[in-house]
Amino acid sequence: MDIAALQAFVVVAESGSFSIASERLFLTQPAISKRIALLESELNSRLFDRIGRGVSLTESGHALLPRARHILLEVEDSRREISNLSGQIAGRLRVGTSHHIGLHRLPPVLRRYSASYPEVELDLHFMDSEDACRAVLHGDLELGVVTLPLDSPAELQTRLIWPDPLDFIVNPEHPLVTEPDPIDPARLCEHPAILPAPGTYTREVIEQAFQPLGLSIPIRMGTNYLETIKMMVSVGLGWSVLPRTMLSDELRVLKVSNIHLSRQLGTVWHGGRTLSNAAQAMLDYLPASE
């Protein structure tokens, strides 16, 4: 089975578009179509239904997709393991990271790493931590530098680098500022909040702290961008929770009774796959950032 054809199939399946696949693979659309046609001919089965400008997987396509991903990952893993035998630290290193970590934690690490290993091409992707973890599991990324999940899948290896304490914050003119510390959590829940979006690891940390209290947090809005949350709190739109490293003069910290929040920032990689020499070197560099 042709590896290039399998790769084209997976990219078309994931993007739902021949044109997007051609852009991602730096090929013409006719070349993509030829590879898919070759695969369909070899399997004697149609893999895509073409409806208008979009495409969707047939039953055969759905059956092939996880197997095609597995084959491509095994091929890449084999290439990586053989390449590692040379001892050279070079090639492309695909790393996913959150905007917060990429802006506030990674720059000095990347600066030292790039200076030490100029032959490594850093392919850095900014995304939500949850998406980065999924991409590592699927083999789309080799490493993630992210907010660590509270419950990691068995295949996902994690390493803590930066403990990240979280504080309750409000605008200096918020009504809760005048109340004596510590504030009762029920009192806090009488005011609207601006929190990280549902499903994010940071939101899970907050919800787990409030769940035993039987309290419902009135959410005004949710967003994955902590800088956006900071701005909205600073103009008085609600209270929130932010990393202590982001505090500034336009915010006030609230002490809340019996609630102490923290999340963990670190690295993730797939335990069942061979790490490239470049990735292993990055893991060796990251703990030094503490």
What pLDDT does residue 51 have? Answer: 75
**184 and 140 belong to one structural domain:** no
* Average pLDDT rounded to a whole number, residues 155-176: 94
pLDDT grade for 273, boundaries at 50, 70 and 90: confident
Same domain, yes or no: 253 and 182? yes
Give the CATH number of the domain where residue 169 resides: 3.40.190.290
Mean pLDDT throughout 100-129?
Answer: 92
Q: Is residue 64 part of a domain?
A: yes
Report which of residues 79 and 34 the model is more confident about.
34
**DSSP letter assigned to residue 148:** P
Return mean pLDDT, the chain: 89
Task: Report the number of distinct structural domains present in the chain.
Answer: 3
Q: State pLDDT tens for residues 216-264.
A: 899 988 888 899 999 999 999 999 999 999 999 999 999 999 899 999 9
- Residue 77 is predicted with a pLDDT of 77
* Residue that wins the pLDDT comparison between 75 and 107: 107
The percent of residues above 70 in pLDDT, for the chain, comes to: 98
Domain containing 58 — which CATH number?
Answer: 1.10.10.10
Is 174 found in the same domain as 255?
yes
Task: Give a yes or no: residue 77 inside a domain.
Answer: no
Q: What is the CATH number of the domain that holds 110?
A: 3.40.190.10
pLDDT reported for residue 84 = 64
Residue 8 has pLDDT above 70, yes or no: yes
- Domain shared by 67 and 93, yes or no: no
Q: Is residue 155 in a domain?
A: yes
Residue range(s) defining the domain that contains residue 215: 165-262
pLDDT score for 72: 82
- The predicted model gives 90-110 an average pLDDT of 91
46 assigned to some structural domain: yes
Specify whether 91 is located in the same domain as 202: no
Domain for residue 79, yes or no? Answer: no
pTM: 0.73
At a CB cut-off of 8 Å and minimum separation 6, what does 155 contact? 137, 270, 271, 272
Contact between 65 and 7 under an 8 Å Cβ cutoff? The reply is no
Q: Do 90 and 141 reside in the same domain of the chain?
A: yes
What is the distance between the alpha carbons of residues 1 and 43, in angstroms, rounded to a whole number?
9
d(CA 18, CA 48): 11
Closest CA to 209 of 260, 163, 155: 260
pLDDT score of 122: 92
Residues 146 and 173 in one domain: no
In percent, the amount of the chain with pLDDT more than 90 equals: 61
Confidence class for position 57, pLDDT limits 50, 70, 90 = very high
**Is residue 106 assigned to a domain?**
yes
Q: Is residue 35 part of a domain?
A: yes
Specify if 78 maps to a domain: no
Domain boundary among 72, 93, 117: 72
